[in-house]
Amino acid sequence: MQLAFILYKYFPFGGLQRDFMRIALECQARGHAIRVYTPIWEGEVPAGFELVLVPVKALFNHKRNEKLTAWIEADLAKRPVDRVVGFNKMPGLDVYYAADGCFEDKAQTLRNPLYRQWGRYKHFADYERAVFALEAKTEILMISEVQQPLFIQHYHTPLQRFHLLPPGIAQDRRAPANAAEIRAEFRREFKLADDELLLVQFGSGFKTKGLDRSLKALAALPRELKQRTRLIAIGQDDPRAFQLQAKTLGLSEQVQILKGRSDIPRFLLGADLLIHPAYNENTGTVLLEALVSGLPVLVSAVCGYAHYIAEADAGRVLPSPFEQERLNHLLADMLADDQRREFWGRNGLAYADSADLYSMPQRAADIILAARP
């Protein structure tokens, strides 16, 4: 079959983008042709992919999205495909990969009522309705159980159109046989002494991921513990506000903020704790990447995948509603207890051997290929 995949932006380090790539490659491996529509592509193009860079520009994102949709509809009319798969909400999809939460719920619960008078709201509400409305035909690939009831509440979407996927953690995130050697080499490279502790935080969108909360928690550590703790944050985002915050908190020498990179497994093996106090997070793939590498996790309960950390007993889950003092206390406890961190790490590795945390691309491909066009 000829398959069309649509996403608003591709870059190698985004969670949605990595999921798209693995699903598209799985479909290609099964013998199907892949065409990708996007206005922005950063990085290499896999062999055999037909990349269509859609030439649209607009002052506002929602206007750009509308131009993008119209351009793609016109191209598909001339060059039809067997399935249209979207990784952002939009009209005309046979299959939608639900990486984002329910927009309508956020608009009603987190925004001022005046927000719903704006053109931006109408655009995103219409595009979400095109996927989830009762009368729509789009099959929905869900990666978070938390969001499904919200879509049903707002749109009465038939239950049979939802397909809950298992996580799709890449096998290269699992701790290899030489994990201890990789950890020792990493810590030499970053000049980490044996008694120093390394916190890591990953994710594009530092504000959403709660980097400000992590910096406050680091600054609140007891003096001796704080002096031997460092934090490395990695993601595709503007770091300046957080560098300023670190400076204000007296943490400039202990905090590094790096751009997205491809060697995240080394950081997972070289660190002592993953901190992820996100404000909101549909899933949180990095939580499971840490778990399968044996790295303990401190995460806020709002993350869709936080329940895996609790089930595996591979760290601590910060309850909702969020309290900064609670985060500060948990971080200090976890960093001060070497034996407990080793226990959580072992639990994560054991869970990685028994749970299905890896088959998302295969299951997603099954559904895409079986969907009615």
Question: Computed from CA positions of residues 132, 134, 139, 142, in that sequence, does the dihedral angle turn out positive or negative?
Answer: positive
Residues of the chain with pLDDT > 70: what percent?
100
Residue 217 pLDDT > 80, yes or no? yes
Closest by CA position to 84, among listed 96, 98, 71: 96
169-194 mean pLDDT = 94
Q: Which of 72-76, 107-111, 146-150, 283-287 has the highest mean pLDDT?
A: 72-76
Residue 162 pLDDT > 80, yes or no? yes
Closest by CA position to 297, among listed 251, 323, 334, 325: 334
The predicted pLDDT at position 345 comes to 98
> Does an H or E element contain 15, and which?
helix 15-29
Q: 339-368, pLDDT tens digit by residue?
A: 999 999 999 999 999 999 999 999 999 999
- Give Cα 43 to chain centroid, integer Å: 18
Mean pLDDT of the chain: 96
| DSSP secondary structure letters along 75-118 | HHHHS--SEEEESS--TT-SEEEE-S--HHHHHHHTS-GGGGGS
**Residues whose CB is less than 8 angstroms from the CB of residue 247 and which lie 6 or more positions away in sequence, other chains included:** none
Give the residue ranges of DSSP H helices in 110-204.
119-132, 148-155, 179-189
Strands 162-164, 197-202: parallel, antiparallel or unpaired by DSSP? Answer: unpaired
Residue located via tokens 């935080």: 201
Amino acid at 308: Y
For the record, the structure tokens of 219 come out as 């600054």
- Distance separating alpha carbons of residues 243 and 230, to the nearest angstrom: 14
Q: 39-67, pLDDT tens digit by residue?
A: 999 999 999 999 999 999 988 999 999 99
The predicted pLDDT at position 285 comes to 92
Q: Give the range among 100-104, 215-219, 308-312 with minimum mean pLDDT.
A: 100-104
The predicted pLDDT at position 90 comes to 98
Give the predicted TM-score (pTM) of the model: 0.86
Q: Is 90 exposed, middle or buried (0-12, 13-18, 19+ CB in 10 A)?
A: buried
> Is residue 252 helix, strand or coil?
coil
Domains of the chain: 2-166+358-370 (3.40.50.2000), 171-354 (3.40.50.2000)
pLDDT tier at 239, thresholds 50, 70, 90: very high
Closest by CA position to 203, among listed 195, 211, 214: 211
283-303 mean pLDDT = 96
Q: How far apart are the first and last CA of the chain?
A: 11
The predicted pLDDT at position 78 comes to 98
> Is residue 264 helix, strand or coil?
helix
Residue 238 pLDDT > 80, yes or no? yes
Q: 268-291, pLDDT tens digit by residue?
A: 999 999 999 999 888 899 999 999
For the record, the structure tokens of 339 come out as 């034996």
Q: How many CB atoms lie within 10 A of CB 14?
A: 21
The predicted pLDDT at position 133 comes to 98
